[in-house]
Amino acid sequence: MHRILSKERLGPEINRYVIEAPQISRRRKPGQFVIIRLCPEGERIPLTIADADPEEGTLTLVVQAVGKTTWQLADMEEGDEIIDVTGPLGRPTHIERYGTVLCVGGGIGVAPLYPITSALKDAGNEIVCIIGARSADLLIMEKEMESVSDHMLVTTDDGSYGMHGMVTDGIKRIVVEEGRKADFAVAIGPPVMMKFTCLLTGELEIPTMVSLNPIMIDGTGMCGGCRVSVGGKTKFACVDGPEFDGHQVDFDELMKRLSAYRTHEKEAMDRYSECRAETGGGGR
């Protein structure tokens, strides 16, 4: 059992949870993920670890409620317990001194980007951070990112905060207009954002690493559900990744595979919403 020690709202339907997981917190490195399960009939979902405190024995997860399980988690409160947390899974991020690194985060992807950025900063890199969201209220962890960045640019799709535009517009401004040289880039966010970021960094010839979050069951290489095409070869995101060379990833295939259970997800969500309505929220 893993107790939720704190729950903090970061935006609409976006919460930051600090949970008890002493063993995992000691072992975890930036870039790794956990698989959680909330109840006996629950599904297993992968979540990238946003931070950890080995001394306190805690993990930080930032989760946006989008489907049944993430909504159920959003309905849980401090003191509630998560029955299963498995990890840390996947390969840790390869950290080295590249020079100047673009750290590009979109939406909820900023959460897993934070520990990687922090590690890259510690390794002596100059960090140029570009984070974006659809609108101001969906922007998360701006302060945390600022604390580990040398330069920072915030974009919103609707112009409600920072630069009006997408993170790719931000990259263009910094690299093309301002002429800042970048030696490496890390991009984490919705697949479509990573796709267009990689198209751009490909043109700009900036090597780019992305972190993928496909559908998984076991997270240990057994089911093969998380397979992605990277450079024409099939890779398992859980054991070969989750990080890959963004210029080699077939994002269109990834997006299609992520949508495979859309009707099921809607059915489960509708059922859960009904149940929430009946119990007045928090319907577990």
Partner 1 sequence: MDSKERLAIPPHPMPEQDPAERVDNVREVPLGYTAETAIAEATRCLQCKTPFCVDGCPVNIDIPGFVQAVEDGDFKKGIRILKKDNLLPAICGRVCPQETQCQLECTVGKARKDQTKSVMIGKLERFLADWEREQGEFEVPRMPPSSGKKVAVIGAGPAGLTLAGDLVRMGHDVTVFEAFHKAGGVLVYGIPEFRLPKSIVQTEVDYLEKLGVEFRYNHVVGKTLTMEKLVEDYDAVFVGTGAGLPKFMRIPGQNLLGVFSANEYLTRANLMKAYEFPRSDTPIFRARKVMTVGGGNVAMDCARTALRLGAQDSLVVYRRSEKEMPARVEEIEHAREEGVQMHLLNNPVRILGDENDWVMGAEIVRMKLGEPDASGRRRPIPIEGSEYVLDVDAVIVAIGNSPNPLIPDTFPDLEVTRWGGIVTNEVTGQTSVRGIFAGGDIVLGAATVILAMSHGRRAAKAIHIYLKTGRWSDLEEAVAVEINQSQTSS
- Which span sits near partner 1 by CB under 8 A: 37-45, 133-141, 180-188, 191-199? 37-45
Judged by beta carbon, residue 36 or residue 139, the one nearer partner 1 is: 36
Q: Judged by CB under 8 A, which of 95, 136, 163, 239 binds partner 1?
A: 239
Angle formed by the axes of helices 191-203 and 251-258, nearest 10°? 180
Shortest distance in whole angstroms from residue 256 CB to partner 1:
5
Q: Judged by CB under 8 A, which of 10, 61, 85, 140 binds partner 1?
A: 85
- Which span sits near partner 1 by CB under 8 A: 8-16, 100-108, 176-184, 255-263? 255-263
Tokens of 252: 């269109």
Residue 24 interacts with partner 1 (CB under 8 A): yes or no: yes
Residue 29 interacts with partner 1 (CB under 8 A): yes or no: no
Cis peptide before 242 (omega within 30 of 0): yes
Distance, in Å, from the CA atom of 21 to the CA atom of 225, rounded to the nearest integer, reads 26
Cα dist. 254→46, 105, 258 in Å?
A: 15, 18, 6
Residue 257 interacts with partner 1 (CB under 8 A): yes or no: yes
| 205 phi, psi to nearest 5 deg | 55, 45
Please work out, in degrees rounded to the nearest 5, the angle formed at the alpha carbon of residue 231 by the alpha carbons of 226 and 233.
Answer: 55
Judged by beta carbon, residue 85 or residue 154, the one nearer partner 1 is: 85
Judged by beta carbon, residue 178 or residue 252, the one nearer partner 1 is: 252
Residue 41 interacts with partner 1 (CB under 8 A): yes or no: yes
Of 54-83, binders to partner 1 (CB under 8 A) are 68-69, 83
- Which span sits near partner 1 by CB under 8 A: 99-107, 115-123, 125-133, 228-236? 228-236
| 35 phi, psi to nearest 5 deg | -115, 130
- Given a contact cutoff of 8 angstroms between Cβ atoms, the answer to whether 157 and 138 are in contact is no
Binding mask 205-224 for partner 1 (x = CB under 8 A): ------------xxxxxxxx
- Given a contact cutoff of 8 angstroms between Cβ atoms, the answer to whether 121 and 136 are in contact is no
Residue 42 interacts with partner 1 (CB under 8 A): yes or no: yes
Burial grade of 192 (CB within 10 A; 0-12, 13-18, 19 or more): middle
Residue type, 5: L
What is the dihedral sign for C-alpha 47, 51, 57, 58?
negative
Task: Point out which residues bind partner 1 (CB under 8 A).
Answer: 23-24, 27, 37, 41-44, 68-69, 83-89, 217-225, 227, 229, 234, 236, 239, 253, 256-257, 259-261, 264-265, 267-268, 271
